[in-house]
């Protein structure tokens, strides 16, 4: 355990000094507007601060240090060049209201990234404004809503969401003011077309589909599904969080997708930063494109500009134009790798997931025993595993030096363990991971208490998460 | 290639899976959808990519920046990016496995604590996308808390924030009115008094307001609270080194743009949405929060908590769909505040006040120009020009100066008005150069 900064603080210590002023704030401003008590912030030297945060960083598992097989999160290697290039001073110091001719470099990158995302998805327009995947979903569904409002179909009040969807999908539909209609998946893990047909009506605004879906399968009837959705007068929204499985292999526009989001912090190698910043660009087919948020970068006579008119736009999703530092990383990625490499990326992501699935078979089985896309979903049956639950396996993996897979998701798989190796892991690493799980399997048979007591090697033991919610302590 | 697979690896892996090619694994994808043609640029080596990005960066023109309007240029100590850029922070995911994520979790707890101290509020979240979305979420929370649906906002709220609020509330049955402004560029307290009613859910205050002016927050707060409405304060966190904290004037929710705390401008993003509230509204706050828990040995540990509010549990009944936020920007902010401490923060805020007032004085000495509107200001103020602000901007740009934000773009009556910002980054020589440049107009 590391002390809090405030516990290390000593009055009078400090890290940074600024130039002296000639006068005090009170000489410029009325006293009643001024602060009377200093905020309780830590007082530390620069060296104290450096050591404090360095030591904290060492308490983390991270992708740079450990295999991080979190399903649905696409923890792929983030090339180091982008760390430097995305913060070059002229980019970092660009003010969003600077004259456009002073920010042509930034605008060109935004424009070219829009163009490349259009090419990769087959869609007609992209906005880079959304700050994260969930923010992209909200942008997409509000775009759908603006489309329907403009087409006299405001009476469409429902959004259909399969039960395999990320929790963000139904929450998003609700934030856009839609009622959520949940539909069950069929026994093979894909959309149940009968259930979909029964749910579709003249009230349906959109169907939100994750492709590949959260059990790691491509919706094999995608063309039929999109025909059904369109026949009902609704739009097809694709959650592109799992696009790493399709990049360079297929274009969502060819499936009949009308609107979708991508996660630059997943498929396009921007690091996750412990929880953001991300970037969730949203693409739209031609008939929906006018309703995207404004502004979008345009190129006019060789000059890049944000001033284009978008009279039907839904408005703004955030201040300014998007998480540009993350956009820069996505741009770097797509300039460093050509179409053949993108195809290789998706293929190797798929190969890696199937390899782990095949190697674990007989010990930890996939819930759907078929070839998967970029991730595989295993299921544990505690009744045949000496009372061991998925959470125990996850915690034990930490002792073996691996981060844990995503657990207890998707909800339709009991005791789920969702593994997404990504393409950047080598066979050697996957073999080491499989070996660790095999060892754990043996422990389950012989010494299951090792799992119940895990983790033993971390800075803290197993945490009682409920204890935090009882009497919340959220600050010093 | 980006992938580490040798031919031999690939062969062995295919064998283990029991297929002869990767294509066999794609049987679910209809053949006519597979392998379309792509028209994408050729791949660059890292070296060539580096040269290419430097060439693009060179297309951005460096100007002495006097623009603020929601994004501010401040000094970022070297230790901030050096620490937050460590791979252990940069390449970790959201801290789902708490035992392997104590570093990220503790920094978030420290961030929440620093925010509460700075704002004088009880609880703060782990962060939101930016100041505008944090404000929109605060308004939605205020509507849920009060069960009322009328919202009054400061007319002098940032124009982008207004647009974002419109987007977020459009389909929620919420009406938005604006409060009246008086000639000195601040809100009229008596007008707000007439406007509020027992239907008012909340009033959104901007302190400083978009013109840089400081409002009589205490009075406005009293007016709002007399009708049982809530005060949502939008503040500049760096200004709180010297300005009264929103908790001190009774804010119920606070939303702020935290970019000013150790984050670069980056053309406006990522920002850092700060969202805080009084304790009574803790369970109405959307977004992640970190709390103290016990491990099995009864030792202190940190975890994501109060998750029963969140989308992955509540699905369509959740307060918001937010999950990823701006953790790394929050980390920058907490490192920045730890380096500065209370004294450093006061010094930098004071330096902003002084330099801004110095420039205002210099501008008032230039014939035809007038700085300020009569109200007190922090580091940003209105300059009334003898010609259109647009012309002043174009003229100063030729001398390497970004003169300010053209207020004519949001209000035709303000065509001659420029919004000018001065932070600690501008030296006294820069201020003189600015005033000299105006003299030629």
Beta strands A259-262; B370-371: pairing state: unpaired
B114 part of contact set with chain A, CB < 8 Å: yes
The verdict on residue B285 lying in a domain is: yes
DSSP B281-343: GGGG--S--EEEEEETTS-EEEEE--GGGSHHHHGGGSS-------HHHHHHHHHHHHHHHHH
CA–CA gap between residue B71 and residue B392 (Å, rounded) = 21
Structure tokens at A374: 């970029």
For A341-465, CATH number out of 1.10.20.10, 3.40.50.300, 3.90.1150.10, 3.40.50.720 equals 3.90.1150.10
CA–CA gap between residue B216 and residue B220 (Å, rounded) = 6
Strands of A259-262's sheet in order across: A125-127, A282-284, A259-262, A235-240, A204-210, A158-162, A179-183
Structure tokens at B170: 């459009």
The verdict on residue B167 lying in a domain is: yes
Task: Please tell me the total count of domains within chain B.
Answer: 2
Whether residues B184 and B238 share a domain: the answer is: yes
Q: Which residues of B touch A322 (CB under 8 A)?
A: 268-269
CATH of residue B304: 3.40.640.10
Nearest to A394 by CA among A456, A451, A445: A451
CA–CA gap between residue B343 and residue B90 (Å, rounded) = 29
Whether residues B327 and B396 share a domain: the answer is: no
Cα angle: A248, vertex A375, A266; to 5 degrees? 55
Whether residues B177 and B108 share a domain: the answer is: yes
Whether residues B69 and B85 share a domain: the answer is: no
Backbone angles phi, psi at B99, to 5 degrees: -65, -25
The verdict on residue B157 lying in a domain is: yes
| Chain B interface, best mutation among A75, A109, A475, by max B CB count within 10 A | A475
Which residues between 18 and 77 in chain B have a beta carbon less than 8 angstroms from any beta carbon of chain A?
18-19, 22, 24-30, 33-36, 38-46, 49-50, 52-54, 56-63, 65, 67, 69-71, 73, 75, 77
Instruction: Supply the pLDDT for residue B358.
Output: 98
Neighbouring residues of B28: CB distance < 8 A, sequence distance ≥ 6: A217, A218, A219, A220, A371, A373
CATH of residue B398: 3.90.1150.10
Whether residues B351 and B329 share a domain: the answer is: no
Instruction: Supply the pLDDT for residue A98.
Output: 98
A41 part of contact set with chain B, CB < 8 Å: yes
Q: Name the percent of chain A lying above pLDDT 90.
A: 96
Nearest to B233 by CA among B276, B286, B273, B190: B276
Reported as a single tens digit per residue, the pLDDT across A336-395 is: 999 999 999 999 999 999 999 999 999 999 999 999 999 999 999 999 999 999 999 999
Cα angle: B350, vertex B130, B243; to 5 degrees? 20
- B361 lies in which domain range? 64-74+342-439
Whether residues B263 and B378 share a domain: the answer is: no
Instruction: Supply the pLDDT for residue A308.
Output: 83
> Do the beta carbons of residue B68 and residue B212 sit within 8 Å?
yes
Peptide linkage before B208 cis (omega within 30 of 0): yes
Consecutive H or E run containing A207: strand A204-210
Low-confidence ranges of chain A (pLDDT < 70): none
Whether residues B290 and B305 share a domain: the answer is: yes
Nearest to A39 by CA among B352, B276, B337: B337
Structure tokens at A121: 């998805």
Given the cut 0.90, state whether the ipTM is greater than it.
yes
Whether residues B225 and B286 share a domain: the answer is: yes
Which of B336, B367, B394 terminates a domain? The answer is B336
Low-confidence ranges of chain B (pLDDT < 70): 1
B376 part of contact set with chain A, CB < 8 Å: yes
| CATH architecture label of A83-336 | 3-Layer(aba) Sandwich (3.40)
CA–CA gap between residue B68 and residue B61 (Å, rounded) = 17
Whether residues B102 and B148 share a domain: the answer is: yes
Which of B336, B358, B386 terminates a domain? The answer is B336
Beta strands B64-65; B405-406: pairing state: unpaired
Backbone angles phi, psi at A84, to 5 degrees: -80, -45
Q: Kindly compute the dihedral angle of the four CA atoms of residues A57, A62, A63, A68, in this order, to the nearest 10 degrees.
A: 180
Which of B282, B313, B336 terminates a domain? The answer is B336
CA–CA gap between residue A54 and residue B82 (Å, rounded) = 10
DSSP A174-220: HHTTPEEEEE-B-TTSSB-HHHHHHH-STTEEEEEEESS-TTS---T
Q: Which residues of B touch A60 (CB under 8 A)?
A: 88-89, 92, 100-104
The verdict on residue B402 lying in a domain is: yes
Which residue carries 């070296």 as its tokens?
A: B47
Which residues between 303 and 332 in chain A have a beta carbon less than 8 angstroms from any beta carbon of chain B?
314-326, 328, 332
Instruction: Supply the pLDDT for residue B1.
Output: 64
The verdict on residue B48 lying in a domain is: no
Q: Which residues pair with A178 in a beta bridge?
A: none
Could you give the C-alpha distances from B394 to A102, B385, B387, in angstroms and in order? Answer: 11, 13, 12
CA–CA gap between residue B105 and residue A54 (Å, rounded) = 14
Whether residues B354 and B331 share a domain: the answer is: no
The verdict on residue B368 lying in a domain is: yes
Instruction: Supply the pLDDT for residue B310.
Output: 77
Beta strands B150-154; B123-124: pairing state: unpaired
pTM above 0.95, yes or no: yes
CA–CA gap between residue B251 and residue B353 (Å, rounded) = 24
The verdict on residue B207 lying in a domain is: yes
Beta strands B175-179; B405-406: pairing state: unpaired
Instruction: Supply the pLDDT for residue B324.
Output: 85
Structural domain spans, chain A: 83-336, 341-465
Whether residues B188 and B322 share a domain: the answer is: yes
Whether residues B168 and B202 share a domain: the answer is: yes
Hey, do A83-336 and A341-465 end up sharing a CATH topology, with the first three levels equal?
A: no
> Do the beta carbons of residue B258 and residue B71 sit within 8 Å?
no
> Do the beta carbons of residue B188 and residue B180 sit within 8 Å?
yes
Task: Find the CB nearest A455 among B99, B240, B300.
Answer: B99
The verdict on residue B15 lying in a domain is: no
CA–CA gap between residue B91 and residue B378 (Å, rounded) = 37
| Cα torsion B185, B189, B193, B196: sign | positive
Determine whether the interchain pair B166/A315 forms a contact, defined as Cβ–Cβ distance below 8 Å: yes
Could you give the C-alpha distances from A267 to A72, A228, A355, B160, B275, in angstroms and in order? Answer: 11, 29, 20, 29, 29
């Amino acid at each position: 355990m590391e002390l809090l900064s405030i516990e290390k603080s000593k009055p009078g210590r400090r890290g940074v000094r600024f130039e002296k002023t000639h006068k005090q704030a009170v000489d410029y401003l009325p006293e009643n507007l001024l602060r009377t008590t200093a905020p309780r912030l830590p007082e530390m030297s620069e060296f104290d601060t450096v050591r404090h945060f360095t030591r904290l960083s060492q308490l983390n598992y991270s992708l740079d240090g450990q295999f991080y097989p979190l399903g649905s999160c696409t923890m792929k290697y983030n090339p180091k060049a982008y760390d430097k290039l995305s913060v070059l001073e002229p980019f970092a110091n660009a003010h969003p209201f600077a004259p456009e001719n002073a920010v042509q470099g930034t605008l060109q990158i935004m424009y070219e990234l829009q163009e490349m995302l259009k090419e990769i998805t087959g869609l007609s327009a992209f906005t880079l404004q959304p700050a994260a995947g969930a923010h992209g979903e909200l942008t997409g569904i509000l775009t759908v809503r603006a489309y329907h409002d403009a087409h006299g179909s405001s009476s469409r009040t429902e959004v259909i969401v399969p039960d395999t969807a990320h929790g963000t999908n139904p929450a998003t539909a609700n934030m856009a003011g839609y009622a959520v209609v949940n539909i069950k998946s069929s026994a093979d893990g894909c959309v149940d077309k009968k259930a979909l047909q029964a749910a579709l009506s003249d009230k349906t605004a959109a169907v939100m589909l994750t492709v590949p879906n959260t059990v790691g399968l491509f919706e094999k009837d995608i063309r039929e599904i999109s025909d059904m959705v369109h026949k009902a007068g609704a739009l097809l929204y694709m959650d592109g969080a799992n696009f790493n499985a399709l990049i360079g292999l297929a274009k969502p526009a060819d499936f009949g997708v009308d609107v979708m989001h991508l996660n630059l912090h997943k498929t396009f190698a921007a690091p996750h930063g412990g929880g953001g910043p991300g970037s969730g660009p949203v693409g739209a087919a031609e008939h929906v494109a006018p309703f995207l948020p404004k502004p979008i970068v345009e190129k006019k006579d060789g000059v890049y500009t944000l001033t284009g008119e978008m009279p039907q736009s839904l408005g703004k999703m955030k201040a300014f134009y998007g998480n540009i530092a993350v956009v820069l990383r996505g741009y770097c990625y797509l300039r460093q790798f050509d179409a053949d490499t993108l195809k290789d990326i998706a293929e190797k992501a798929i190969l890696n997931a199937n390899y782990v699935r095949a190697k674990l078979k007989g010990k930890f089985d996939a819930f759907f025993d078929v070839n998967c896309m970029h991730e595989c979903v295993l299921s544990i049956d505690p009744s045949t595993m000496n009372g061991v639950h998925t959470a125990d396996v996850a915690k034990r993996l930490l002792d073996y030096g691996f981060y844990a897979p995503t657990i207890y998701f998707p909800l339709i798989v009991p005791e789920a363990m969702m593994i997404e190796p990504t393409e950047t892991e080598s066979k050697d690493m996957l073999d080491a991971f499989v070996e660790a799980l095999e060892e754990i399997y043996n422990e389950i048979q012989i010494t299951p208490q090792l799992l119940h007591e895990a983790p033993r090697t971390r800075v803290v033991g197993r945490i009682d998460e409920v204890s935090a919610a009882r009497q919340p302590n959220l600050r010093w | 290639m980006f992938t580490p697979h040798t031919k031999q690896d690939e062969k062995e892996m295919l064998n283990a899976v029991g297929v002869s090619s990767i294509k066999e694994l794609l049987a679910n994808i209809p053949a006519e959808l597979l392998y379309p043609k792509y028209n994408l640029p050729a791949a660059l080596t890292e070296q060539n990519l580096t040269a290419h990005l430097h060439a693009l960066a060179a297309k951005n023109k460096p100007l002495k920046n006097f623009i603020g309007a929601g994004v501010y240029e401040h000094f970022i100590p070297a230790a901030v990016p050096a620490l937050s850029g460590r791979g252990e922070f940069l390449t970790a995911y959201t801290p789902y496995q708490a035992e392997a994520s104590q570093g990220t979790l503790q920094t978030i707890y420290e961030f929440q604590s620093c925010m509460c101290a700075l704002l004088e509020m009880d609880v703060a979240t782990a962060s939101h996308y930016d100041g505008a979305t944090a404000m929109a979420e605060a308004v939605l929370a205020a509507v849920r808390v009060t069960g009322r649906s009328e919202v009054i906002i400061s007319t002098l709220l940032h124009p982008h924030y207004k647009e974002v609020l419109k987007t977020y509330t459009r389909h929620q049955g919420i009406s938005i009115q604006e409060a009246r402004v008086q000639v000195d560029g601040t809100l009229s307290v008596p007008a707000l008094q007439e406007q509020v009613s027992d239907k008012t859910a909340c009033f959104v205050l901007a302190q400083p307001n978009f013109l840089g002016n400081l409002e009589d927050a205490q009075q406005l707060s009293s007016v709002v609270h007399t009708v049982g409405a809530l005060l949502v304060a939008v503040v500049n966190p760096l200004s709180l080194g010297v300005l009264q904290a929103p908790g001190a004037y009774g804010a119920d929710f606070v939303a702020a743009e935290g970019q000013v705390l150790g984050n670069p401008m980056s053309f406006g993003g990522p920002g850092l949405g700060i969202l805080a509230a009084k304790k009574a509204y803790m369970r109405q706050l959307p977004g992640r929060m970190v709390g103290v828990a016990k491990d099995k040995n009864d030792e202190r540990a940190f975890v994501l908590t109060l998750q029963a509010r969140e989308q992955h549990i509540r699905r369509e009944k959740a307060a918001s769909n937010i999950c990823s936020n701006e953790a790394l920007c929050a980390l920058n902010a907490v490192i920045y505040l730890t380096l500065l401490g209370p004294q450093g923060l006061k010094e930098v805020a004071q330096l902003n006040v002084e330099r801004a007032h110095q420039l205002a004085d210099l501008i008032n000495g230039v014939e035809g120009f007038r700085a300020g509107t009569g109200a007190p200001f922090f580091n940003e103020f209105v300059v009334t020009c003898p010609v259109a602000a647009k012309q002043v901007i174009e003229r100063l740009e030729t001398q390497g100066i970004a003169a300010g934000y053209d207020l004519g773009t949001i209000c035709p009556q303000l065509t001659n008005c420029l919004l000018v910002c001065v932070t600690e980054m501008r030296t006294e020589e820069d201020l003189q150069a600015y005033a000299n440049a105006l003299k030629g107009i």
